[in-house]
Amino acid sequence: MNKILTISIAAYNIEDYIKEALDSIISNEKARECVEVIVVDDGSKDQTLEIANKYQAQFPETIIVIKKNNGGYGSTINEALKIAHGKYFKLLDGDDWFSNNLTEYLNILEQQDADLILSPYYRVHTVNNRYELVSRHQFNNGGDSTACDSNLVYIHAAETAVQTKCIKNKMIISEHCFYTDVEYVHSVCRFSKSVFFINLPIYCYRIGREGQSVSIKSRLKNRQDASFVSLKLCEDYRQHKEEYASIFADGQITQIATIIVFYCKTLLYMKNLKEAKKEMNIFLQKIKKYPEIFDRVLLINRSIKLCIKIPILFGVIAKYEKLKNR
């Protein structure tokens, strides 16, 4: 049977979570038949690989396990794409899972032909197990689906499923680097010319797990990766701007500006504010080479705008951001 969907699961030291991720797929009868699950073990040092191999042995028609040396999140996407055969391609972090809407979701994908499918997702707060629905895009016709009639401002990887043929042998994501999920979405938008909306939350995104890249500690440690990805996306957009469908063009400027703001706001948490200010100035001088994107940064975040326009306020703004996010 032809596979409707390839699911790429990035797996690194997630022995406590990988079963939940896989069970959310293989417990579904339709998924067992028409979904291809590629678990890419990125050099785990715990029992992640052993657990994945047991699932592969039990469901060999559905699950494929790749063992590789550690190369970062982007490398898991690259490896999965090499062997992906599904009509659509979707990411699933190994510590996340799918909702019980999977059957209906697959039925819609089976009938669809749009390059990119977007759907809402849940942010699941682990502290209190609270499900927060994230639905950034508008749905017409009762919420089932629609062609888009406005620019897409911000797209999260959890929302996406893209036709495999659109990105296979075209897209290579940076390796040994954090924040490549942003790079992935950027590339998906570049190679997609049509979009379809499904008002059906499918992805459950875990919030609050220790060690996640969104924690302040992790952000500070990996901030140079955010800088690298920001600059790479700026240059990529400059070189390939004409390739973006009109629906994605302006939204991608905002998307890139958002990761730039993320990096700059991370610097405000540094203990040495003199070094933080210096690092931000050097970085923003590079961003100024891309006027459209730099202007969008000033537009979307007041704190960073004040840091640029009134440098003497840098320390005050840093203190404010820390207090605001306690």
Same structural domain for residues 55 and 127?
A: yes
71 backbone dihedrals φ, ψ, rounded to 5° = -140, 5
Same structural domain for residues 296 and 193?
A: no
Q: Is the pLDDT of residue 144 over 70?
A: no
Q: Give the domain extent around 190.
A: 5-207
Same structural domain for residues 179 and 232?
A: no
pLDDT, tens digit, 9 for 90 and up, residues 89-117:
999 999 999 999 999 999 999 999 999 99
pLDDT, tens digit, 9 for 90 and up, residues 180-203:
999 999 999 999 999 999 999 999
For residues 324 and 300, which has the higher predicted lDDT (pLDDT)?
300
Q: Is the pLDDT of residue 149 over 50?
A: no
Same structural domain for residues 189 and 300?
A: no
Same structural domain for residues 247 and 177?
A: no
pLDDT of residue 324: 81
CATH number at residue 104: 3.90.550.10
Q: How many domains does the chain have?
A: 2
Give the residue from 150, 175, 207 where a domain finishes: 207
Same structural domain for residues 180 and 223?
A: no
Average pLDDT over residues 207-235: 86
Residues in contact with 13: Cβ distance below 8 Å, sequence separation at least 6, in sequence order: 44, 45, 46, 48
Q: 322 falls in which pLDDT band (50, 70, 90)?
A: confident
Q: Is the pLDDT of residue 273 over 90?
A: yes
The answer to whether 48 touches 94, Cβ cutoff 8 Å, is yes
Same structural domain for residues 95 and 65?
A: yes
Question: What is the model's pTM?
Answer: 0.92
pLDDT of residue 248: 86
Average pLDDT over residues 227-235: 98
Tokens coding 257: 């500006």
The answer to whether 178 touches 278, Cβ cutoff 8 Å, is no
Rounded to a whole number of angstroms, the distance between the first and last alpha carbons of the chain is 51
Average pLDDT over residues 203-211: 81
Q: 136 falls in which pLDDT band (50, 70, 90)?
A: confident
Q: CA separation (Å) from 321 to 198, 289, 326?
A: 36, 27, 9
Same structural domain for residues 131 and 43?
A: yes
